[in-house]
Structures are given as C-alpha cells and as structure tokens.
Structure 1
C-alpha cells in the first residue's frame, strides 16, 4: 500500500564551506498534491531541490544532515539516476535539451525503444538492436497530446519558440513510466500569459492522475491559482506553511521578505528630495539576455545610495549594464541635465560613471594578471593615466611602473585588500578580496557615480559586511553617488536611502528602506501597484 505522503524531508541542513544555506528545513508533499515552494532569491529553494534530485554538488561538498523519506521509505538520493529510479522528475529552469536532436529524440533520450534486426537476431545480442523510431514517435506524440501540444514530434529543437521547449521538457518527464513526483522550477518564467495558463491547467491534470508536484515560482498569483499547500523559505529556514484556503498574496509576500533590518547608513539624508539629480534615466529599454529592461525612467540623486532590487531575471541587472553601454539600449540618459551618448562604454566612463560588474570573474577581472594591473588597466586605456613618454617622445608612451605601484599600494591599504602584495595574481585572491580589486579599479577612474552590481555574490558573510561597509564609507566620506543592484533585499535595506524594485523589466515602485515588509513582498511579486489601487 502506497504512503499518503509521497515525500517527507525532515530537518534538512546543508553547509557550503562553513556557510549554512539550509537550517533544519522540513517539507511534506502528499500524493496528487500541488505543493508550492516560495521564497526570495537565496532562500534555499534550489539547494533543497538539488538535495531531492541527488545533484553531485550536494555530496561533493560534504552531503547533508536530516532525513529524506520517499513513498514511505527512508532513502539517500545520491545521484539524479537514483532520483529517476525512485520516480522523481525535474523540469529545470534552464533547459536541458539537445538542440540538434528532434523533439522525440529529446523526450526518449536514455530511454530509447529498440527492436531486433537481422544482425541482432543472428548474434543473439540486444546491444545490436536498432532504434524503433515508430514506437518512440508514438510515445512522444502521446506525451505531447496530453499537454495539448499540436506539434510535429519530429521537429528539431533548434528554432522552436521557448514556450514549446518548456513543454517538451515536461513531456519528457511525463513519458517516464514510474513518475510519482514532478519538480517544476520556475516553469512559467519564459512563457507567455496564455502558455502559462495552459501549463497551470496541465499541472492540475497531472495532479488529478495522482502525480505530486513541487511548484517553485515567484509568481504568487499562480501559487494561489493551483497550489493545494504552500511552504515559505527565508534565509535557509522554513518560516511558514499554509493551505490554499488560508493563503493570500499579502500573507505570502510578508513571510517571504520579513526580517529585522539593521540600517548601516544611519546618516540618511533628510533633505534627499531637494537634492540635485545626478543622472536621469528616461524611457530606457535594454536588450540584455535574461535581464531585459522595458521603458524604465528613474532619477538618481546626487550623494545618495540607491538600490535596485527584484527577483532573478526581472531586469534589474540590465539597468546598469545598459547605462554603461555593455548591452544595446534605447532611451535617453541625462548627466547633470546634459544628454549623454548611449551604447558606448568609453563615453560612460568619460562622463564620470564607473561600473563593478556582477560577473566578477568573467568580466570584472583579468584573473591571470596582477592586482596592480587590474586596478589601473581601464584608467590606462580610457583616460591615459599611469603612462609616461618613452625616451622623452610624447607620441609614444609606456606604463609608469612607479606610479602604478604607488597607486596600487595606496588602494590595497585603503580598501584593506588581503594579499601578499600588488604583484599577486587576482585568481589567487578570495572572493571578497577579488571584489575589492574590482571596486579599486572603478575608483581609479575617479567616478562621480559608481554602479555596483551584485556586490556580495559568491563571497562569505564576513567579506559581505566588509564590502557593504566600504560602499557606505565611499558614500559618506567622498560624497560619491552609488547605485547598488542586488538580489539580497536585506542588504539593500541596510545601506540604501531608496530602493527601486523592478518586475518583468519595468519599475514597479521605489520604496524607503524602512517601508513595511508587506510593501516589499508585493513589489517583488509585481503586485504593489495593483494593491495600492485597490486600497484607495
């Protein structure tokens, strides 16, 4: 007899290199239930699902504490294959499809149907069988039909609309014979509204056939539409559980973001509204893959720290990248009231803007070069600093090594970059010190406005505080205008004077760091404007 609870996770704890990302989380999912798992970025949702699906990163970093019970039996799921054999399927947020293969081939991959041929019969070996393309196509067609997809099962994946790819991912999972639990990780993020509605209907249909569904999403209206029960995670802890009957968007939103905020930037400017505008962003759109910005207008005031927040993929990262000319942008930028040229990083830097990228290792640093080279490189290229004439010939210039060394040593001391010296390779620094090198390079440009994107991503908790303290110090002591883009809402609320929340590429609202948790939760879910209108 099957257990009523298909999945029980008891007191799950997980550490990554001393950082506790899950702190005694428990979760129960019943057969045929749609169970929503919600929380901010970094709440622990993905780690919990990686544990459930036996992803290698979990056991290569020390494993877990706690117990997993599946279909009534305690189990250790140490690989995706083990998860599949138990009957657990996962529809990942990032597509796991082979573009050169057909829809059918992707659906049946690693579960191909074979048939005997003349050679296999003569040799008596199943390994020499050939693929039964007709049977595979029939299975794929059945899975696609169950999702309401009227598409040729032999079309190649390459060139399909993203919505179709998402349904192919789901078709692959439901084609598996023993599927008992399906995990949907942000399945509607790439879908149109009509496709999302169709998917939610499919989820209800699957649940009605006894398949349990774990539904991870940031869209709270979808949670209320389909979920039978809801678990809320925050900072690696389970902070709430409710049934559909008890749930409201307001309750879920407040649980997601509620926390004690210690405001580090106590010298918040009282007359902020009266201060001059440093940079005006007018009707700006940015075509950054995964972070598209749609017609945003925003005034950045002189001497403030302004935060840009929002959930993953909503467009917040695209704003600074568009302003700095790193991705194609349209609209208008006015620096001190004067129109700036767009789409050219050189012009942005010449207008006294500097940028610390969210991609520290891929874009922000020359990993195999020294600290001092990283600090001065952009200033040498764009502003022709740290150069001297070669043999007195001013047309030909070379690096001024003494000046570079003196400047690097000063910044290493000022920013407390922990290293063996200015010649150390940046690759050999810790994440927090690499981030400080990125900030040092930006400061070398002597900017009036500093854009810092995801300043604490991938660094430990102690280094996080040092980096945030540094941003506050630059603002207070130098009067520098700072724009911080971050997925860590608590960090933004601790250092910023104002916080702009972006949802689906648009500016949802601008809030005070001391605004109620409910306001932040609604804004992150794209419901703040609607809630404000209804409250009037």
Structure 2
C-alpha cells in the first residue's frame, strides 16, 4: 500500500506545557486510520498541525516533520494543506449560515462567467465577472450525490438545515475539491443520531474505496472498530498503542485510552460525614438544550457535602448539566433543592438560592475582561445581593474600602499573580483568570457550587492550586461541589463519586477507585452492566 502521509516525531508545547511528545503516525492510500484518545490526549492538536492551523504557528510552531506523498512538506496554513489535497471537517462547523448549501460548498472556489463590463476591462475585469450559479449548483449537487445525500437541497440556506445535514454539507465541500487525497474527520458523529452515524460510516467506506485516505477521530469506539483499518491510541500526548483493528477489542481500547497513574492525594478529613440519605439536590429527567452539549435525560441525587464529579467525552452533554441547572440554557425536568421544588431557567433564582456556577467559558461568560481584578471578584455579589455597598447622602455607592480589603484577602489566599487588585483581568494568565472566577464564586457564599473545566488551559502548578482550593471550600466551609471535567485523573484525585455522561444520559456512577477500563467503557457508552452508586 502506498503511504500518503507520515507525521514523524511530532512534539508541541503550549506556553511551556508539552501537549504532544514525539508522536508518529502514517496513513496509506485509501486507508481509514482510527485515531482515539481521551479529551486532551492531543488528537485535535495533531490534526491542527497537519492542517496548518494559525493557532499552531502563533504559539511557536512544532517539532518534527510531515511527509506527504513521499515529499517533506511545510504546511504553514490551511490553504497550503488544501493545495496538497488535505481536507478537514472540524468538530465545530465551519459553515456560513446565511449562505446556501451551494455557496458554502463552493466558497473560495466559485465559478464565474464574463459579463459585458468584465469583457470591456479585459484581464482587469476578472473580479467583476458574474457568479455562474447553474455551474456551481451542478458541482454542489454532484458532491452531495457522491455521498448519497440526495435529500439535501443544494439551494437551501444552511441556517435552516438540521445538524446532521450541516455535517454532510461539510463533507460535500471537501469532496468537491477534486484534488482531495486525505480527509480528516474530527468527531463527525458527535452530533448525529445512530442512523445518521451509520450513514456517515457508509460514506467513509465509500470514500476509502475511491482511494481517499481518511483519518477518523471518534469517541464512539464501536464505530472505530467497525470502519477503521488501523487504530492509533493517544494518551497524554503520546502514542500508547497502534495496530490493525483486529488486534483490539472495545475493552482494550478503553483501557489504553484512559489508563494512567493517579497521584494518591491525601485529602483532609471532613467535619461531617456524607450520607446518601442527606440529598441537597435531586435531579430527575433533566433535559438541557445546549448546542453541542445536549442533555437528553439525566438523573442523579447530589449528596450534601460531597464533591461529585461529572465526566464524559466531548459533546456528550456533561457541560450541559451545570449550564441547565443554573439557567444559562433552556432546561426542563423535575429538580428539587433542599427539599423544595427548584425553578429552572432563572440564573437569579439560582443565585438567590445559594447556587453558584463557575463556567467553562471563563473569557466569554465568567469574566468582565476589561474590569479590574477586584471588580470581577465582587461584581456578582454587588448586582445580586447589594454586598460591598453603602448609603451616602441617600444614594447607594460602592464601599471601595471593603471591596479592596476583600479582594486583597482573596488574592493572597488564592495566590492570584497580578500587579494588584486594580489590574485589568484581561492581562492575567489563564490560570490566574480562573482563580479570579473561583474568588468571585466564594464571595457569593454558595451552598452548592457547580464548577466546569476549572483547570482547562492552565499549567500544572496552577491546576494543583485550583483543585486544592476546591477541596478547601468543601472540607473547611462545607460547600457541596459538582465538578465537571474532561480530565479523568483530575476527577479521580478529589471526587467522592464520578458520574459519567454518554449520549446525554447518565452512563454510570463510579467510585474514584474503579478500574480505568470501567470509566473508558462508560464514556464510550459501552458499559452495559452498570453498578450505579447512587
């Protein structure tokens, strides 16, 4: 088999953190390579390097070399990748919703025809030529028919398409590039139903038969085994196993994917033991309409005083739970809190009830980037509860002295590295921004704290400090914590129980001491006999 792609000894650092360590992979002509690994294993970074994404080159580039069709190549931009015949369908849709399917498929490769004005200007009039819509439409139709998407109207606007059809339009766009030799599919089935996913697997086989090489990234391990010729497993930025698919079972892949040494952290004792009968919040049949993290039917009892972990692979709904409970996305279900019926879809109600949420999107939702550290720490407390204010001549004004004192105390306690309480949050590192989010949460005196991806994008030292602080809030202040994280090791290090979410539903509740393979199988939706602890 002719080798189309080799990536040799690829290493990548982000701000001092090594996320890829001497990774080597190869793909033959018409071969389907299944690439699997936990969130954060390095799959998307490796593919971003292959596709020349700007985020790679704006952060210092990478080490190693790429050989394409026998030649060493320097892929410094997506356009260079496309020139070579490499296509990529990303996890997030790269479509323009206000354009038609045809316009999206032919974007940057439009077909034009001369008009009277362009003819008069000769070669200078090329830019004034008219779009040849019939020709573009024929090409789009052909690309859609190639992947057997006869039901998609090529003149329909992308905004009105269901999610699955958008995914297929992305693939059709790549197929329309007649020079396509290698196609990367990054979690293409994450947003699809089982029947839609099966359809996509058939399309992948069809493209393989046409001689197009495929790198197929999926969290659904049975899909990988069904369609791939070879499998590469990444863990913590390294290749931990590779071979023909016949050499693996779902069980073995899951074990390799998540198996790692967990540091034995000695957690301080609690003042009060947790009782499974003492439930602070009971969630029944929760549905949350959060795009990309849809929760379909999630139920669990959260015990007062515990740290409950929520894990699962990307797009499975784990992030939707906290967003739904706090009212940031439309939610429905039967939720009781401290023995009373809980009102969904109202962030202010949640805050007034003692429920606080630290979002995974710290820059988009969690922080006021142009405001100072101290104002970020107290802003929600001022807005929701009128804290840190005082009366002056009949007017309510900020109590600047109280704000400064409170901010300085938390800056010291959380070791927030800043020039002082007046420094704009935008100028802090990611780890210090996350600490500001936690400082604001603690300022609100929560009874129940939801924290999503608290250590995403921050260095190892900052990670430890953030996790230690969560343990301190739990142990010393008795705050019940629900910690959502993509890092299983993180959950296992401080949580009492870990709920795994798959396909928008609870797949299992496991103790942190459960074997890695059980977590891997639960994440992949393959754990059939679940011993649910609570």
Both proteins in one fold, TM over 0.5: yes
Q: Mean Cα displacement is larger for which, 223-232 or 148-157?
A: 148-157
Q: Is the CA contact 1:268–1:497 (under 8 Å) kept in the aligned structure 2?
A: no
Q: Is the CA contact 2:508–2:530 (under 8 Å) kept in the aligned structure 1?
A: no
Match of 1:10 in 2: 8
Q: Does 1:276 align with 2:274?
A: no
Q: Mean Cα displacement is larger for which, 126-135 or 492-501?
A: 126-135
Residues in 2 aligned to 1:117 and 1:17: alpha-carbon distance in whole angstroms:
52
- 1:84 counterpart SS class: helix
Q: Does 1:214 align with 2:215?
A: yes
The alpha-carbon deviation at position 418 of structure 1 amounts to 2.2
Match of 1:62 in 2: 60
Alignment of 1:315-354 (within 5 A): 315-354=317-356
Q: Does 1:226 align with 2:227?
A: yes
- 1:358 counterpart SS class: coil
Match of 1:243 in 2: 244
Match of 1:443 in 2: 442
The alpha-carbon deviation at position 521 of structure 1 amounts to 0.3
- 1:190 counterpart SS class: coil
Residues in 1 aligned to 2:157 and 2:347: alpha-carbon distance in whole angstroms:
39
Cα 1:226–1:531 change in 2 (3 A) is: farther
Match of 2:260 in 1: 259
The alpha-carbon deviation at position 120 of structure 1 amounts to 5.6
Q: Does 1:188 align with 2:189?
A: yes
The alpha-carbon deviation at position 116 of structure 1 amounts to 4.8
Match of 1:23 in 2: 21
Residues in 2 aligned to 1:390 and 1:522: alpha-carbon distance in whole angstroms:
61
The alpha-carbon deviation at position 239 of structure 1 amounts to 0.8
The alpha-carbon deviation at position 423 of structure 1 amounts to 2.2
With normalisation by structure 1, the TM-score equals: 0.93
Q: Is the CA contact 2:185–2:216 (under 8 Å) kept in the aligned structure 1?
A: yes
Residues in 2 aligned to 1:480 and 1:102: alpha-carbon distance in whole angstroms:
50
CA deviation profile, 1:267-323 (whole Å, cap 9, x unmatched): 577964556222222222222222222222211112211111111121111111222
Residues in 1 aligned to 2:422 and 2:385: alpha-carbon distance in whole angstroms:
22
CA deviation profile, 1:32-85 (whole Å, cap 9, x unmatched): 111111111111111111111111222222221111111111111111121111
Residues in 2 aligned to 1:428 and 1:248: alpha-carbon distance in whole angstroms:
48
The alpha-carbon deviation at position 121 of structure 1 amounts to 5.7
Q: Gapped runs of 5+ residues in structure 1?
A: none
Please, which of 96, 99, 118 is the counterpart of residue 98 of structure 1? Answer: 96
- 1:158 counterpart SS class: helix
Match of 2:489 in 1: 490
Cα 1:223–1:389 change in 2 (3 A) is: same
Match of 1:143 in 2: 143
Match of 2:166 in 1: 165
Aligned length: 527
Q: Give the superposed CA RMSD.
A: 2.1
Match of 2:359 in 1: 357
CA deviation profile, 1:420-471 (whole Å, cap 9, x unmatched): 3222222222222221121111111111222111101122221111111111
Match of 2:77 in 1: 79
Residues in 2 aligned to 1:457 and 1:449: alpha-carbon distance in whole angstroms:
21
The alpha-carbon deviation at position 189 of structure 1 amounts to 1.9
Q: Is the CA contact 2:269–2:475 (under 8 Å) kept in the aligned structure 1?
A: no
Match of 1:314 in 2: 316
Alignment of 1:272-311 (within 5 A): 272-274=274-276, 276-311=278-313
Cα 1:265–1:112 change in 2 (3 A) is: same
Match of 1:519 in 2: 518
Cα 1:90–1:476 change in 2 (3 A) is: same
Residues in 1 aligned to 2:119 and 2:399: alpha-carbon distance in whole angstroms:
78
Cα 1:532–1:499 change in 2 (3 A) is: closer
Q: Is the CA contact 2:350–2:356 (under 8 Å) kept in the aligned structure 1?
A: yes
Alignment of 1:413-452 (within 5 A): 413-452=412-451
Q: Does 1:51 align with 2:44?
A: no
Q: Is the CA contact 1:353–1:449 (under 8 Å) kept in the aligned structure 2?
A: yes
Residues in 1 aligned to 2:382 and 2:86: alpha-carbon distance in whole angstroms:
55
Residues in 2 aligned to 1:35 and 1:376: alpha-carbon distance in whole angstroms:
50
The alpha-carbon deviation at position 124 of structure 1 amounts to 4.9
The alpha-carbon deviation at position 115 of structure 1 amounts to 4.1
Cα 1:206–1:372 change in 2 (3 A) is: same
Q: Mean Cα displacement is larger for which, 211-220 or 128-137?
A: 128-137
Residues in 2 aligned to 1:251 and 1:273: alpha-carbon distance in whole angstroms:
36
Residues in 2 aligned to 1:315 and 1:206: alpha-carbon distance in whole angstroms:
30
- 1:245 counterpart SS class: helix
- 1:490 counterpart SS class: helix
- 2:202 counterpart SS class: helix
Cα 1:30–1:477 change in 2 (3 A) is: same
CA deviation profile, 1:478-532 (whole Å, cap 9, x unmatched): 222111111111111111111111112111111111110110001111111x255
Q: Gapped runs of 5+ residues in structure 2?
A: none
Cα 1:390–1:79 change in 2 (3 A) is: same
